[in-house]
Amino acid sequence: MKKSLYILLASITILIGACDLEKEVDLNLPEFEPKLVVECYLEPGKPYRVILSESVGYFGTLDLDLPVVNNATVMITHNGIKDTLINSVFVEPSPGGNPLLAKVFNYGSSTLVPEDYNSDFHLEIVDSAGRTITATTQLLPVVPLDSVQYLYLQDSSASLLTIHTDNPNETNWYYRTQHKTVVTLDSLKGGFVLDDELITGSNNSMAVGGPPVYDAGDTAIVTLYHITESYAEFLETTAAAQQNNGNPFATPSSIKSNIVGGLGIFTGLTYFRETYYLD
Amino acid sequence: MIDVRLKDGNRKKFSGTGGLGLVASRLTLEGPIVEDKGSFIVSGRRTYVDVITRQVNRANEGNENYNPIPDYYFYDLNMKANYDLGENDRIFLSGYLGRDFFTFGNGDFNVNFDWGNTTTTARWNHVFNPQLFMNTTVTYSDYDYTLSNKFGDFAFELGSGIEDQAAKVDFSYTPNNDHFIQFGVSSTYHKFDIGRANADSESGVIEFSSGQKHYAWEFGAYVADEWEVNEKLKLDFGLRASGFYNDEKFYYGLEPRFASKYSVSENVSVKASYARMYQYIHLVSNSGASLPTDIWYPSDQVVAPQFSDQVAAGVSIALGENYLLSNEVYYKWLGNQVDFKDNANLFLNDKLNEEFVFGKGWAYGNEIYIEKKNGKFTGWVGYTLSWSWRQFEDILDGEAFPYRNDRRHDASVVTMYEINSRFTVTASWVYSTGNASTVPEGYFIVQKPQGEGITIVPTYVPRNSYRVPAYHRMDIGFVWNFKHKWGKSDLTFSAYNAYNRKNPYFIYVDDNRQDIIDANDGQPLGADDFSELEFTPTQVSLFPIIPSVTWNFSF
**Spatial CA neighbour of A204 closest among A153, A176, A168:** A168
A51 contact residues in B (CB cutoff 8 A): 447
What confidence score (pLDDT) does residue B274 get? 98
Residue of B442, B466, B509 lying closest to A55 (CB–CB): B442
Q: Which of B55-69, B102-116, B145-159, B173-187 has the highest mean pLDDT?
A: B173-187
Sheet holding A205-208, edge to edge: A145-152, A158-165, A205-208
**Residue B105, Cβ neighbours under 10 Å: how many?**
14
For residues B195 and B349, is the Cβ–Cβ distance under 8 A?
yes
* Number of CB pairs, chain A paired with chain B, less than 8 A apart: 231
- Quote the distance between the C-alpha of residue B25 and its chain's center: 22
Residue B325, strand partner residues = B317, B370
The pLDDT assigned to A198 comes to 53
pLDDT at A61: 57
**The length of chain A, given as a count of residues:** 279
The model's pLDDT over B37-69, given as tens digits with 9 standing for 90+, comes to 999 999 999 988 788 778 877 887 777 667 677
Q: What is the band of A11 on the pLDDT scale with cuts at 50, 70, 90?
A: very low
DSSP B244: E
Q: Are residues B329 and B273 in contact, defined by beta-carbon separation less than 8 angstroms?
A: no
User: Rounded to whole angstroms, how far apart are CA atoms A59 and B442?
Assistant: 8
How far is Cα A218 from Cα B492, in angstroms, rounded to an integer? 66
Collect all residues of chain A within an 8 Å Cβ-Cβ radius of residue B544: 15, 18-19, 21
In a domain, B145, yes or no: no
Query: Which residues touch A127 (CB under 8 Å, ≥6 apart)?
Result: A36, A52, A69, A71, A72, A73
DSSP string over B477-516: EEEEEEE-SS-EEEEEEEEETTT----EEEEEEEE-HHHH
**Domain for residue B481, yes or no?**
yes
Q: Rounded to whole angstroms, how far apart are CA atoms B167 and B300? A: 23
Other C-beta atoms closer than 10 Å to the C-beta of B370 total 16
- Does pLDDT of A200 surpass 60? no
Nearest-CA distance A250 → chain B (Å):
6
Task: Measure Cα distances from A113 to A40, A41, A117 in Å.
Answer: 12, 10, 11
Does B385 have pLDDT greater than 70?
Answer: yes
In Å, what is the CA distance from A267 to each residue of A48, A79, A168, A232?
A: 12, 16, 23, 10
Neighbours of A80 (CB within 10 A): 6
Q: Chain A contact for B444, CB < 8 A?
A: yes
Other CB atoms within 10 Å distance of the CB of residue B14: 13
Confidence of residue A6 (pLDDT cuts 50, 70, 90): very low
Looking at beta carbons, which residues of chain B come within 8 Å of A60? 442
- B288 CB neighbours in chain A (<8 A) are 247-250
**Is the residue at B380 inside a domain?**
no
- The reported pLDDT for the residue numbered B348 is 62
Residue B446 lies in a domain: yes
The helix (H) or strand (E) run that includes residue B446 is strand B440-446
Confidence of residue B4 (pLDDT cuts 50, 70, 90): very low
Residues 529-548 of B with CB under 8 A from A: 530-531, 533, 535-542, 544-548
pLDDT score of B513: 80
Contacts of A255 in chain B (CB under 8 A): 457, 459
The Cα-based distances of B491 to B19, B88, B424, B429, B504 in angstroms read 9, 44, 11, 22, 32
Which DSSP symbol is given to B527? G
Note whether B218 and B246 are within 8 A (CB). Answer: no
Contacts of A27 in chain B (CB under 8 A): 439, 441, 466, 507, 509, 537
Q: Return the ∠ at Cα A121 (arms to A118 and A124), rounded to 5°.
A: 165
Within B341-376, strands assigned E span 356-372
How far apart are the two ends of chain A, measured CA to CA in Å? 68
Q: What is the ipTM of this complex?
A: 0.87
Rounded distance, CA B447 to CA A41, Å? 11
Tell if the CB–CB gap between A62 and B533 is shorter than 8 Å.
yes
CA B44 to CA B531: how far, in whole Å?
58
Q: Which of A146, A269, A34 shows the shortest CA–CA distance to B452?
A: A269
Total domain count for chain B? 1
Contact B257, B272 (CB under 8 A): no
pLDDT in tens, B209-253: 677 889 999 999 999 999 999 999 999 999 999 999 998 999 999
Residue B531 pLDDT grade (very low, low, confident, very high; cuts 50, 70, 90): confident
For residue B453, being part of any structural domain is answered with yes
Averaged pLDDT, A177-187: 66
Q: How many C-alpha atoms does A55 have within 13 Å on its Cβ side? A: 23
Amino acid at A142: V
Nearest Cα of chain A lies from the Cα of B342 at a distance, in angstroms, of 5
**In this structure, is residue B518 part of a structural domain?**
yes
Phi-psi region of B26 (alpha: psi -120 to 50; beta: other; left: phi over 0): beta
CA pair distance A133, A253, nearest whole angstrom = 21
Beta strands in B264-376 (DSSP E): 268-279, 281-284, 295-298, 306-319, 323-340, 356-372
Structural contact between residues A144 and A163, judged by C-beta atoms closer than 8 angstroms: no
Q: Do B343 and A236 touch (CB under 8 A)?
A: yes
pLDDT range class, residue B410, cuts 50, 70, 90: very high
pLDDT grade for A9, boundaries at 50, 70 and 90:
very low
What is the rounded CA–CA span in Å between residue B448 and residue A92?
12
Of B287, B288, B286, whose CA–CA distance to B506 is shortest?
Answer: B288
In a domain, B258, yes or no: no
Q: pLDDT per residue over B322-350, tens digit each?
A: 999 999 999 999 999 988 877 776 666 67
Domains of chain A from N-terminus onward: 36-137 (2.60.40), 145-233+271-277 (2.60.40)
Q: What is the per-residue pLDDT for B109? A: 64
Greater confidence, A77 or B106? Answer: A77
Name the β-bridge partners of B186. B168, B220
Q: Regarding beta strands A121-126 and A81-84, do their DSSP bridges make them parallel or antiparallel, or are they unpaired?
A: unpaired
State yes or no: pLDDT of B83 exceeds 90: yes
B317 burial level (CB within 10 Å; 0-12, 13-18, 19+): middle
The confidence score (pLDDT) of residue A166 equals: 85
Q: How far apart are CA B445 and CA A185, in angstroms?
A: 20
- Domain range for B442 is 427-555
pLDDT of residue B478: 95
- Over 60: is that where the pLDDT of B374 sits? yes
Shortest CA gap B300–chain A (Å) = 22
Residue A3 pLDDT grade (very low, low, confident, very high; cuts 50, 70, 90): very low
Helices A2-18 and B49-59 cross at an angle (nearest 10°) of 70
Which of B89, B90, B94 minimizes the C-alpha distance to B41?
Answer: B94
Q: With respect to residue B541, please indicate whether it lies within any of the assigned structural domains.
A: yes
Rounded Cα gap, residues A177 and A273, in angstroms: 9
Mean pLDDT in chain B?
87
Helix (H) and strand (E) counts in chain A: 2, 18
Distance CA A69, CA B160 (A): 48
User: B530 and A62: CB-CB below 8 Å?
Assistant: yes
- DSSP assigned state of B52: H
pLDDT tens track for B307-318: 999 999 999 999
Check A252 against B342: CB less than 8 A apart. Answer: yes
Q: What is the pLDDT of residue B90?
A: 95
Going by the DSSP 8-state scheme, the letter that residue B57 receives in this structure is H
B388-397 pLDDT, tens per residue?
999 999 888 8
Interface of B with A in 126-185 (CB under 8 A): none
